Amino acid sequence: MARQNPFDKRRQRVRTSIRQRGGDRPRLSVHRSGRHIYVQVINDADGRTVASASTLEKEARAKTGATVAAAQEVGRKIAERAKAAGVTRVVFDRGGFLFHGRVKALADAAREGGLEF
C-alpha cells in the first residue's frame, strides 16, 4: 500500500468522523487552493451535489481571488443557494484544512446566512 502524506491522512480522518456523526445531514465540503476557494453541499445518501459556489464564478471572479473577503462572499452564496434547495442543517467538512483564515471566514458567513452546523 502506498504511503499517504499527512494532509491526505488528516482529510480521510476528518471525512470518516463526519460520516459517523453526521447521520442523514448533508455535508458542506470546502476546498481551497492558492488562488480560489470552492464549497459544495453534498447529499451523501443520494451521492449528488445539492448546491455549490466558488470564487471561479463570473461575479466573484471580477473582484478578488483567494482572500478572506472572497471566502465570506462564497459563504453567503452557498447559504443562500442551500436554503433555496431546502437545506438548512449541514455537517461542516473542512476537508483536512485547518479551521482558520479563509475556511473559518467561509464557515462564519455561511452560519450568518442561515445554515446550521
Secondary element (H or E) of residue 6: helix 6-22
Give the angle 67-9-89 at the CA atoms, nearest 5°: 60
* Gyration radius of the chain over CA positions: 14
Tracing cell 442543517 back to the chain, one arrives at 89
pLDDT per position as a tens digit, 3-13: 888 888 888 88
39-71 burial: b if 16+ Cβ within 10 Å, else e: bbbbbbeeeeebbbbbbeeeebeeeeeeebebb
Answer for the pair 30, 108: CB distance below 8 angstroms, yes or no.
no
Three-state secondary structure readout of 16-63: HHHHHHHCCCCEEEEEECCCCEEEEEEECCCCEEEEEEECCCHHHHCC
Q: What pTM, to 2 d.p., does this model score?
A: 0.85
Residue 1 confidence class, pLDDT cut points 50, 70, 90: low
Tracing cell 445539492 back to the chain, one arrives at 50
pLDDT per position as a tens digit, 78-106: 999 999 999 999 999 988 899 999 999 99
